Amino acid sequence: MPCSDGGWGREEERQSYERQNAETQAKLDNVTRLLCEVCTIITIPNLADREDISISKVAGLKGWWVAHQKRDAEKAALMRGQEKLIQEEAERRKTVERALNKLTHEERKALKLQ
C-alpha cells in the first residue's frame, strides 16, 4: 500500500492547479482586453496629444501596445487564412458534387462511387 498523508491525491491536486490556472488565465485575458481598449482610445487622433492620457507616459506601455497590435494582426491574418481554406474546401466540394451529378447510375457504379 502506497504511503499517504491522508490529504489530496495527485489527481485532485492536478485538478486544483488546473482550476487555479484557468481562473488566472481568465483574469489575465480580461486585463489584456481592458488594456487593449484603453490603448485604442488613447491612440485615437486628437486624444493622443492630451498630456493627461498618453501611452508614452506609462513605462513599458508603448512596447506592450506595439507587441499587442502585432499579435492581433497576426491572429487576424491567421483567421483570414483559415476562412480562405474553409471557403476553398466548400467550393471544391461543390465542384465535386456538380461533377458527380453529371454521372449516370451506371457510371457511378463503374467508378465504384456507390
Q: What is the pLDDT of residues 42-54, one digit of tens each?
A: 777 766 556 566 6
- Res 38 pLDDT > 90: no
Question: Could you report the per-residue pLDDT of 65-97, keeping only the tens digit for each?
Answer: 888 899 999 999 999 999 999 999 999 999 999
Residue 42 to residue 49: CA distance in whole angstroms: 9
Residue 97 covered by a domain = no
Q: Is residue 37 part of a domain?
A: yes
Domain count across the chain: 1
Whether 113 is covered by a domain: the verdict is: no
Q: Which residue has the higher pLDDT, 37 or 2?
A: 37
Q: Is the residue at 92 inside a domain?
A: no
Q: CB 65: neighbour CB atoms within 10 A?
A: 19
Full domain range(s) for residue 24:
9-58
**Domain presence at residue 47:** yes
φ/ψ (deg, to 5) at 57: -80, -20
Is 67 part of any domain?
A: no
